[in-house]
Amino acid sequence: MIERQPPRFTDDVSVVLCGEAGQGIQTVEHILTQGLKRSGYHVFSTQEYMSRIRGGSNSTAIRVSRRRICAPLDRIDLLIPFGKGAVRHVGKRISTETVLLGERLFFGDEYQGDRGIDVPLSEKAMEVGGPIYLNTVAVGLLSGLFKIEQEILHDYLRHHFSGKRDDVIQKNIEAAEKGFAISQDVLKKGWIDIDLQRDPRVEGEMIFDGVEALAVGAIAGGCQFVPFYPMSPSTGVAVFLSQRAKEFGLIVEQVEDEISAINMMIGAWYGGARAMATTSGGGFALMTEGVSLAGMLESPAVIHIAQRPAPATGLPTRTEQGDLFLALYAGHGEFPRIIFAPGTIEEAFDLTRRAFDLADRFQVPVFILTDQYLLESHYNIPSLDLGSVSQKRYVVETGPGYRRYRLTEDGVSPRGIPGFGEGLVVLDSDEHDEEGHITEDLDLRVRMVEKRLKKLNLIRNEILPPELLGPPDFKTLIIGWGSNYHVLKEAIERLGRQDVAFLHFKQVYPLNPDIGRYLQQARTTVLFENNATSQFSQLIRLQAGFDIEHRILKFNGLPFTVEEVQTHLERLLNPDDAKNLDGGHGYALRKGFGADL
What number of residues does the chain have? 597
Instruction: Provide the b/e sequence for 435-461 (b: ≥16 CB within 10 Å).
Output: bbeebeeeeeeeebeebbebbbebbee
How sure is the predictor about 385, in pLDDT bands with cuts at 50, 70 and 90? Answer: confident
- The pLDDT of residue 244 is 96
Residues 91 and 22 in one domain: yes
DSSP string, 202-266: GGGSEEEEHHHHHHHHHHHTT--EEEE---TTTHHHHHHHHHTHHHHT-EEEE-SSHHHHHHHHH
Residues 311 and 228 in one domain: yes
Calpha distance 417→270 (Å, rounded): 6
What pLDDT, in 10s, does the model give residues 90-145? Answer: 999 999 999 999 998 888 777 767 789 999 999 999 999 999 999 999 999 999 99
Q: How many domains does the chain have?
A: 4
Instruction: Judge contact between 303 and 234, C-beta under 8 A.
Output: no
pLDDT per position as a tens digit, 316-346 = 999 999 999 999 999 999 999 999 999 999 9
Question: What does the alpha-carbon distance between residue 595 and residue 418 come to, in Å, rounded to a whole number?
Answer: 51
Q: What is the DSSP letter of 35?
A: H
The CATH number linked to 44 is 3.40.920.10
Nearest to 557 by CA among 351, 357, 316: 316
Q: What is the 3-class SS of 98-151, one letter each residue?
A: CEEEECHHHHCCCCCCCCEEECCHHHHHHHHCCHHHHHHHHHHHHHHHCCCCHH
User: Does residue 316 belong to any structural domain of this protein?
Assistant: yes
Residue 526 falls within a domain, yes or no?
yes
At 223-256, the pLDDT tens digits run: 999 999 999 999 999 999 999 999 999 999 999 9
Show which of 174, 204, 234 is a domain's final residue: 204
Q: Residue 596: inside a domain, yes or no?
A: no
**In a shared domain, residues 292 and 376:** yes
According to the model, what pLDDT value does residue 392 have? 87
Q: Is 469 helix (H, G, I), strand (E, B) or coil?
A: strand
Q: Closest by alpha carbon to 520, among 496, 503, 538?
A: 503
What is the rounded CA–CA span in Å between residue 6 and residue 186?
A: 11
- Are both 261 and 351 inside the same structural domain? yes
Going by C-alpha positions, the residue among 232, 309, 340, 312 that lies closest to residue 532 is 309
Q: Which residues, in sequence order, are CB contacts of 35 under 8 Å at separation 6+? A: 139, 143, 148, 152, 153, 156
Distances in whole angstroms, Cα of residue 213 to Cα of each of 241, 451, 469, 562: 11, 35, 23, 23
pLDDT bracket for residue 586 (50, 70, 90)? low
We report the CATH number of the domain holding residue 361 as: 3.40.50.970
Residues 379 and 331 in one domain: yes
Q: Does the pLDDT value for residue 198 go beyond 80? A: yes
Kindly state whether residues 289 and 315 are assigned to the same domain: yes
pLDDT for the residue 110? 77
Domain match, 417 and 439 both: yes
Q: So what's the pLDDT on residue 180? A: 97
533 and 577 in a single domain? The answer is yes
Provide the pLDDT for residue 21: 85
pLDDT band at 582 (very low <50, low <70, confident <90, very high): very low
Tell me the Ramachandran region of residue 577: left when phi exceeds 0, alpha when psi lies from -120 to 50, beta otherwise: alpha
| Position 408 in a domain | yes
**Domain end (from 204, 235, 260):** 204
Whether 220 and 351 map to the same domain: the answer is: yes
Q: Who contacts 442 (Cβ-Cβ below 8 Å, separation ≥6)?
A: none
Side-chain half-sphere exposure of 193, counting CA atoms within 13 A = 7
- Residue 572 falls within a domain, yes or no? yes
Decide which of 204, 237, 265 is a domain's last residue: 204
Q: Domain range spanning residue 430? A: 395-462
Together in a domain, 244 and 115: no
d(CA 564, CA 561): 5
Distances (CA, A) of 226 to 117, 251, 333, 342: 49, 6, 26, 20
Closest CA to 252 of 228, 274, 226, 275: 226
**pTM value?**
0.95
Q: What is the CATH number of the domain that holds 539?
A: 3.40.50.920
Residues 183 and 103 in one domain: yes
Asked if residue 139 belongs to a domain, the reply is yes
Q: 545 and 568 share a domain? A: yes
Examine residue 183 and state whether it is found in any structural domain, yes or no: yes
Does 2 reside within a domain? Answer: no
Instruction: Find all residues with CB under 8 Å of 358, minimum gap 6, and list them.
Output: 338, 364, 366, 459, 462
